[in-house]
Amino acid sequence: MTVKLSHIEKNKAKMVDISSKKITKRIAIAEARVVFSKKTFNILINNGNTKGEIFSTARIAGIQAAKKTSELIPLCHKLNLDEISVDFDINIKKNEIKIISNCKCSGKTGVEMEALVSVTNAALTIYDMCKSLDKGIIVTDVKLKFKSGGKSGKFKND
């Protein structure tokens, strides 16, 4: 059985032709985790950070990244996004912040890459704003949690 990669044709990279696809409502949810030392996490949660309000900055960074995904990932189509949300789940017991991005559009191709780029950029923004306290912060577990729409239908990753 031959496995075909959608972005490779005759051993050359190509943008997928979506011209014959139907427009459907597309949703993708991605998440990432940022893990801190106990000391750094306590400073972040209890005292804030000298570079500004971390969560607002990371949220805007995640939204901006989703909008610019086609400029960052060479073979992604430019999408007109209908909604982008970036939220945070703070886990005090694990000294971590989970970032969740939800992207929606009506289009011919999915928004998985937009959601993944969104959480990654939000996580890197948090790292950037806290690196003066600790260079050992870990960005981990970037993954697609859910997608719907299009020919392949729903996907859920628990």
User: Which residues are the active-site residues?
Assistant: 128
| Complete DSSP assignment for 17-80 | --TTSPPEEEEEEEEEEEE--HHHHHHHHHH--TTS-HHHHHHHHHHHHHHTHHHHSTTPPP--
| Complete DSSP assignment for 96-134 | EEEEEEEEEEEESS--HHHHHHHHHHHHHHHHHHHTTT-
Q: How many residues does the chain have?
A: 158
- The CA-atom distances, in angstroms, between 128 and each of 57, 61, 77, 118, 140 are 11, 12, 28, 15, 15
